[in-house]
Amino acid sequence: MNYSKLYSHLENSDIENYLLIAHERPDGDTIGAVLATGEFLRQIGKKVIAICSQEVPEPFRFLAGWQKIKSDFLLADFQTIILIDNGDLKRTGYLDRIRLAKSRRVPIINIDHHPKNDIWKLVSINIINEKASSTCEIVFDIIKKFAGKINAEIATDLLCGIYTDTGGFQHSNATPIALDVAAELLSAGANLKKISDNVSNFHSIARLMLWGIVLDRVQKSKNFNLIYSVVTRADLEKIAATDADLAGVVNIMSSVPDELASLLIYETADGKIKGSLRTESNRIDVSAVAALFAGGGHKKAAGFVVDGRIEKVGNGWKVV
């Protein structure tokens, strides 16, 4: 992680205007990291705008300042772009404008815990730690190294990201370092009760109905130790559910004993099909599976997007 380059950049008083970009279909890690990074940059006298191509999901709207996250921007207004937890360039939601920024020599900083991807060569500074539990863990490290103040608001933002990406400290990425960071954040005033109430215990009727559809359709692959389920756009529209309501259900599917992985396939609003892969096994790398469909992610949590639609065929389903 190139902290010396980052330090030099942040120390440049001529660079004031920063654009922070969260990934599309935002989760608690990208939202928490963007909000915490924004507050830290304001502490050191920078002007900051946070951007996400899609709205902040309801479970994360308890985080202070979430309303300040905008959906559009003028590239000419900013002197630095920071990509936070994006994983790959397409996932930013602003691929063309980021490439334009690169052509205009706008400095781009990448803060992430995803494996090597197409962002790495594009940016000026990479702050990467693939072993970190979350991007929020990396942002915590940045703030500490730069002697920033971690108040209760920032602590809650960061703990939300760590909590989300470790599945409430249940996944194997809940490392001793992650738990030490979480303990320090709690000491700084992070509100774990509010995080768990909103992230783990936030279930609307539409979400419960949608999970019921997913779980009712769970099937086991005949050729692999894989369980899978599907959701169509019509399913979501019928019960007035959103894509965000699917968050977490694939993790429940992956809890079936003796199954190597779980796969949830669903239709998106823009006519695509998204696949979400999860595993608790050390024997399989689901990011390698996602890569077969131009996707990516982590060894135990990955995803991909392809063109097509889902059709019911007899007692099963197929992608066409």
Average pLDDT value for the chain: 93
Per-position DSSP letters for 209-228, written without gaps between them: HHHHHHHHT-EE-SSSSEEE
CB 137 within 8 A of CB 178: yes
Six-digit token string for 1 = 């992680």
The residue ranking higher by pLDDT, 255 or 227, is: 227
C-alpha angle with apex 230: 227 to 235, nearest 5 degrees? 150
**Residue range 265-279: average pLDDT?**
92
pLDDT tens for residues 29-63?
999 999 999 999 999 999 999 999 999 998 999 99
Distances (CA, A) of 287 to 13, 23, 115: 40, 17, 9
- Paired tokens of 149: 């103040």
- For each of the domains in the chain, give its residue range(s) and CATH number, in order of start: 3-199 (3.90.1640.10), 205-319 (3.10.310.30)
pLDDT over 90 at 257, yes or no: no
**pLDDT over 90 at 259, yes or no:** no
Of the candidate ranges 9-13, 66-70, 86-90, 223-227, the one whose mean pLDDT is the lowest: 223-227
How far apart CA 302 and CA 238 sit, in angstroms, is 28
Give per-residue pLDDT as tens, 120-149. 989 999 999 999 999 999 999 999 999 999
Distance CA 81, CA 263 (A): 34
CB 88 within 8 A of CB 112: no
In this predicted structure, the answer to whether residue 165 has a pLDDT above a threshold of 80 is yes
What is the H or E stretch that residue 126 is in? strand 125-128
- 212-224 residue pLDDT tens: 999 999 998 878 8
Lookup result for tokens 């320090």: 184
Instruction: Answer for the pair 210, 235: CB distance below 8 angstroms, yes or no.
Output: yes
CB 112 within 8 A of CB 135: yes
d(CA 110, CA 120): 7
Q: Edge to edge, what strands does the sheet with 272-278 contain?
A: 219-220, 226-231, 261-267, 272-278, 301-307, 296-297
Please report, to the nearest 10 degrees, the dihedral formed by the alpha carbons of residues 276, 56, 165, 37 taken in order.
Answer: 140
Residue 1 has pLDDT above 70, yes or no: no
pLDDT band of residue 98 (cuts 50, 70, 90) is: very high
* Span 225-231, average pLDDT: 92
Contact between residue 122 and residue 108 where contact means Cβ atoms under 8 Å apart: yes
pLDDT given for residue 111 in this prediction: 97
Stretch 76-98: mean pLDDT? 95
Dihedral class, residue 128 (left if φ above 0, else alpha if ψ from -120 to 50, else beta): beta
- Count other C-beta atoms under 10 Å from residue 304's C-beta: 21
Average pLDDT over residues 266-293: 90
Residue 315 confidence (pLDDT): 76
Q: Kindly report which listed range (66-70, 73-77, 300-304) carries the lowest average pLDDT score.
A: 300-304
Which phi and psi (to 5°) does residue 211 adopt? Answer: -60, -35
* Matching residue, tokens 């990396």: 138
C-beta separation of 92 from 24 below 8 A: yes
Task: Answer for the pair 133, 167: CB distance below 8 angstroms, yes or no.
Answer: no
Roughly how many angstroms between the first and final C-alpha of the chain, as a whole number? 43
What does the alpha-carbon distance between residue 320 and residue 317 come to, in Å, rounded to a whole number?
10
Q: In the structure, how many helices (H) and strands (E) does the chain have? A: 11, 13
| Diameter over CA atoms, the chain | 65
